[in-house]
Amino acid sequence: MRKTLVRYAAEDKAGDFTTAEQVVLGVESLSYALNDHDRRKAPLDALFNKVKSGVDFNPGQFADAARRIQSQF
């Protein structure tokens, strides 16, 4: 499921702030459940940095970030 969420974002399907934020929260939640959150901190931070602000949200940049970290999940 986590890989699917990251792939969804990487394919530029999380085109609005609310959807992107939910993707990030879902990936983080699953990382806690899988007990590897600490090992995935850097890629999670990369996604979080793209959803810090709804005003500044850029869907293309979010998709780019997801593509860059996709292999880490």
Domain count, the chain: 1
3-state per-residue secondary structure call for the chain = CHHHHHHHHHCCCCCCHHHHHHHHHHHHHHHHHCCCCHHHHHHHHHHHHHHCCCCCCCHHHHHHHHHHHHHHC
| Confidence label for 55 from pLDDT (cuts 50, 70 and 90) | very high
Separation CA 51–CA 39 (nearest Å): 21
What share of the chain in percent tops pLDDT 70?
100
**Range of 14's domain?**
2-72
User: pTM for the whole thing?
Assistant: 0.92
